[in-house]
């Protein structure tokens, strides 16, 4: 009997060893396949984004279909190892593999091809988007998104603002039918993967149950909502002073075309209208950049030098040879700023139609944050070559941008001396118009998509529900009727290109949490909004320690590495803006708050 038990145990151990060995072999093969098809898809997407033609769209669709197919097959195959006792690193790879897709194509080959072509086509439609005016003065003049954004920056004519705002939103109309079909097919693929729908598939990526993640978003929003509501009330009051009581309600939502941004996600362009009296920042960075005759490359060089001051190596020569910094005159490109890791190694690039403004100066830092993050984790196994969660990737560059303080501008020679504290409310207002104003939009765009994917929002209510959510979260509304013949969600790149958006909301919370941790590491004792970690090697080491982890550990562990906490926390953001919040509440006394 004893020998039989021994033989049985030996056989069990042999079977276990073989199964674990199979899992190891499976993961190695999976990572090799993912690297191959991922790089091919990246190269095709780069070409399609920088040379928009029917041919490049078709090539991208084919490459993406191949990548999605391989990833989907590997994700399904990983399920067979669910009950195998694997070491933590292998178990995590299995988890990441099963949650790797942003879109799952159906198993039916015809439907799979149709879905990837729809996706490539919608992104191309967005990239080619123009508003061709029909008024007698400008009849036939066509405006691309950069031209429209310049008008939103410069014009204070409400009629012109409304005209270009409505004009840009016409680009979504042709995508409405395609988007409805895209939802049907992507949901079919997600269900074949075992998810309720595509939205549930997205929410499963965050190292916690999908329902718990949704609750976490609600908790973070409730932390920051009072700050947003105070800013909203003050800005509404100032816009009412500018445009009149007939144009702006005293207690309702803000008209969507008056906030200087096509989607009302950033209010910096109305900064001159809402600037606190007697609280000038003391400098105009856009004017400084233009007076110094900065070009696009120099904007990027300054961003790179911030990272090298922290101890990071310079970007490779190929970055400068292969990136796109300006919109070419001879072809259509997708101008939406993005960072690329084309070969999952050293072929780092950015694609951006850079304008010489303070806003773009910060965007450059943001995009380079992606590149330095990508290079930091390049030596990890393929399945770990990504950020701890997608919000981390977006947060890193913005964390650096928070260090673009007056003191930093003095250190790099763009200011002679930092303005005194009397201008801090002005500085904080400028940053709040960018960061705080963004928060509800960062939340609502995926709230809309999750409801669309789940079927809670029907195709017959796509546009109505979009504006219902914008009113609920942002407190904004259109002044002209928006019917179901319109498709305003697709006038936003991330909807047309199927890019999840909750990452940006998370990034806006995390960047302040990161910034506070790095500021404390650097020994800064000034108010948080005056702290810069520029040229602090110890802060750089701490940042790099998190970056090089990639997604080898749950995001809670990566967060702990940098901040000492395993919980996302908006109190750092509240601390940063505390002086402004007190000032806003004083200005809002006796006025309506909320909508």
Tell me the CB-side half-sphere exposure of residue 133, using CA atoms within 13 A: 17
pLDDT in tens, the chain (595 residues): 455 544 444 444 444 445 889 999 999 999 999 999 999 999 999 999 999 999 999 999 899 889 988 998 998 898 889 889 999 999 999 999 988 889 999 999 999 999 999 999 999 999 999 999 887 677 778 999 989 999 999 999 999 999 999 999 999 999 999 999 999 999 999 999 889 999 999 999 999 998 899 999 999 999 999 999 999 999 999 999 999 999 999 999 999 999 999 999 999 999 999 999 876 667 889 999 999 999 999 999 999 999 999 999 999 999 999 999 999 988 989 888 999 999 999 999 999 999 999 889 989 998 999 999 999 999 999 999 999 999 999 899 899 889 989 899 999 999 999 888 877 998 899 999 999 999 999 999 999 999 999 999 999 999 999 999 999 999 999 999 999 999 999 999 999 999 999 999 999 999 999 999 999 999 999 999 999 999 999 999 999 999 999 999 999 999 999 999 999 999 999 999 999 999 999 999 999 999 9
Q: Residue 480 carries which DSSP code?
A: S
How distant, in Å, are the alpha carbons of 288, 398, 402, 478, 556 from that of 528?
25, 15, 10, 36, 24
Backbone angle region of 564, left / alpha / beta, with phi > 0 → left and psi within -120 to 50 → alpha: left
The string of DSSP codes covering 241-268 is HHH-TTTS-SSSPEEGGGSSSTTSS--G
Task: Decide: helix, strand or coil at residue 42.
Answer: helix
Backbone angle region of 278, left / alpha / beta, with phi > 0 → left and psi within -120 to 50 → alpha: left
pTM: 0.87
Which residue, chain included where needed, has tokens 């590491």? Answer: 521
Instruction: Write down the number of H helices and E strands in the chain.
Output: 25, 6
Residue ranges covered by each domain of the chain: 2-123+192-203, 129-180+209-279+437-501, 285-423+503-575
151 neighbors 161 (Cβ within 8 angstroms): yes
167 neighbors 131 (Cβ within 8 angstroms): yes
C-alpha triplet 340, 343, 349: angle, nearest 5°? 30
- The CA distance from 39 to 41, in Å, is 5
Catalytic residues: 336-337, 366-367, 370, 394, 494, 504
């Amino acid at each position: 009997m004893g020998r039989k038990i021994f033989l049985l145990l030996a056989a069990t151990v042999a079977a276990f060893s073989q199964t674990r060995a199979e899992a190891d072999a499976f993961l190695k093969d999976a990572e090799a396949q993912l690297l191959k098809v991922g790089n091919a898809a990246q190269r095709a997407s780069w070409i399609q984004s920088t040379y928009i033609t029917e041919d490049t769209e078709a090539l991208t669709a084919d490459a993406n279909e191949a990548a999605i197919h391989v990833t989907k097959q590997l994700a399904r195959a990983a399920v067979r190892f669910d009950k195998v006792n694997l070491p933590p690193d292998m178990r995590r790879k299995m988890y990441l593999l099963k949650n790797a897709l942003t879109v799952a194509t159906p198993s039916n080959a015809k439907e799979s091809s149709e879905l990837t072509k729809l996706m490539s086509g919608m992104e191309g439609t967005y990239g080619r988007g123009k508003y061709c005016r029909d008024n007698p003065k400008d009849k036939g003049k066509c405006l691309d998104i950069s031209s429209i954004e310049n008008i939103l920056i410069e014009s204070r004519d409400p009629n012109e603002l409304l005209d270009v705002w409505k004009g840009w939103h016409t680009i979504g109309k042709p995508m409405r039918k395609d988007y409805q079909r895209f939802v049907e097919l992507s949901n079919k693929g997600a269900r074949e993967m075992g998810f309720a729908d595509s939205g549930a598939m997205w929410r499963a990526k965050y190292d916690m149950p999908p329902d718990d993640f949704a609750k976490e978003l609600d908790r973070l929003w409730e932390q920051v909502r009072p700050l947003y509501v105070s800013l909203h009330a003050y800005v509404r009051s100032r816009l009412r002073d500018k445009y009149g009581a007939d144009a702006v309600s005293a207690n309702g939502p803000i008209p969507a075309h008056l906030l200087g941004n096509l989607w009302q996600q950033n209010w910096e362009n109305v900064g001159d209208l809402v600037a606190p009296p007697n609280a000038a920042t003391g400098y105009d960075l856009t004017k400084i950049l233009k007076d110094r005759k900065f070009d696009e490359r120099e904007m990027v060089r300054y961003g790179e030098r911030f990272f090298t001051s922290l101890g990071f190596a310079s970007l490779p020569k190929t970055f400068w040879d292969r990136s796109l910094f300006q919109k070419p005159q001879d072809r259509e490109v997708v101008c939406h700023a993005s960072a690329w890791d084309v070969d999952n190694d050293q072929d780092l690039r950015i694609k951006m139609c850079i304008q010489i403004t303070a806003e773009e100066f910060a965007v450059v830092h943001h995009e380079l944050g992606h590149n330095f993050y990508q290079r930091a984790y390049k030596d990890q196994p393929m399945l770990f070559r990504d950020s701890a969660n997608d919000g981390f990737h977006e947060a890193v560059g913005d964390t650096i941008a928070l260090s673009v303080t007056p003191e930093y501008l003095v250190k790099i020679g763009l200011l002679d001396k930092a303005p005194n504290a009397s201008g801090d409310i002005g500085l904080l207002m400028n940053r709040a118009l960018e960061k705080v104003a963004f928060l509800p939009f960062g939340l609502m765009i995926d709230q809309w998509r999750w409801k669309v994917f789940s079927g809670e929002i029907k195709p017959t209510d796509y546009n109505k529900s979009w504006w219902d959510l914008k009113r609920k979260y942002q407190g904004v509304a259109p002044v002209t009727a928006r019917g179901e013949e319109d498709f305003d969600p697709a006038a936003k790149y991330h909807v047309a290109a199927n890019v999840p958006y909750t990452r940006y909301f998370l990034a806006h919370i995390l960047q302040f949490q990161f910034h506070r941790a790095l500021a404390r590491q650097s020994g800064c004792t000034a108010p948080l909004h005056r702290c810069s970690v520029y040229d602090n090697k110890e802060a750089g080491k701490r940042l790099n320690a998190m970056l090089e982890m990639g997604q080898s550990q749950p995001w809670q562990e990566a967060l702990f590495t940098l901040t000492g906490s395993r919980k996302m926390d908006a109190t750092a953001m509240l601390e940063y803006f505390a002086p402004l919040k007190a000032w806003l509440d004083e200005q809002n006394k006796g006025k309506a708050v909320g909508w």
